[in-house]
Structure 1
Amino acid sequence: MLELNTPINNLTNVISINLALGANQGRGRLFVPRPTLMGQVTTEGSNHGSRPSGASVSFDTLDNLVKSLGIDQVSAIKVDVEGAELAVIRGAEKTISKFGPRLVIEVHGNDNLTSLRHVMKSMNMRVVFEVPASPRRDETRVFVFAVPFHFMGPASPGIRARKVLGINFNAARLRITGPHSAHIFE
């Protein structure tokens, strides 16, 4: 899809790389549970009775990729990897430390969320706010927005969120209704 959408949108600074990101370099297998309507891929076969199809892929770290491509600026990183968030972040520690990018991470599961909060703190990153991403009560998916500690000033969390993430936080909150609410951290 990326390769099809790039010319349609006249994008000239996009490259497509056939590579999975993780905590280490190597080879592994990705599985797509079937039947599914979601864009879900996992490194583990499903135990829910579906027949997963799989593909052997190369894994590398974001740190290695940034270095090998000679990238000299990273201002934002978005991670949506269906449960492998911690592996990708651990493979990006040098990049995050060097460039201090804004992070948007879709986190799956309460254990991953708790672990990610600790990892962010250990990397001098601050979770600015979390937004539930799933209407299902049996599923925990949360979008986590994080920035380097030095981005934060004495302003209120909402003002800081608008400033450092470059978004209209009030508009984002208006779209979140019912059991969904944004959690802002001081």
Structure 2
Amino acid sequence: MIKKIVGLLLTFIFLTSMCMTAFADGKIDVISSKKTEDTKQFLVTITRPEGDETTFKESYVICGNSDKQNITVKLLIYNEKTDQFEPYRNLDGEDTWTIGASGFFMKEIELPKKGANRIRIAAYQGSAKMEQTELVLGENLQVNTFTVTVLDRSLRNSIKNGFLRITDMLENLFGA
């Protein structure tokens, strides 16, 4: 009887440990490391952001396209506390998606803070469950990092009001 219980217990532990990799968070070190250099855009052309951008809105749309098949895109954001890029969910609740038959993607995200938000977009050929050993930076893995800065709306109003005062002053000077 004890042998049966020990056998069942060992079988349960073995099966549970085998399933752990199925529920892993899919963190890939080369994508998460802040030391990873950006690559050329050879798998996906990212059309927005075009580079480092500044906006007054917390809502931001990321867009891109690809003429290749079976491309998976992963969205990450820099976490200052962990000093790494971590998966970041868009408004649809996904941090990883496959580009469809159209070849285009457009995802809306909520930028988490005022100031600089470092966003990383990683694209690779293959499924979302790729192993780290299968990804080679610059060959089947593209990594691009952008900074999107959210400015306070009061700054926008100050700039707007300052511009109006300058135009009023010019009108008074030149009588336009």
TM-score, normalisation: structure 1: 0.26
Higher share of residues assigned strand? 2
Higher radius of gyration, 1 or 2: 2
Specify which structure has the bigger relative contact order, considering alpha-carbon pairs within 8 angstroms and separated by 6 or more residues: 2
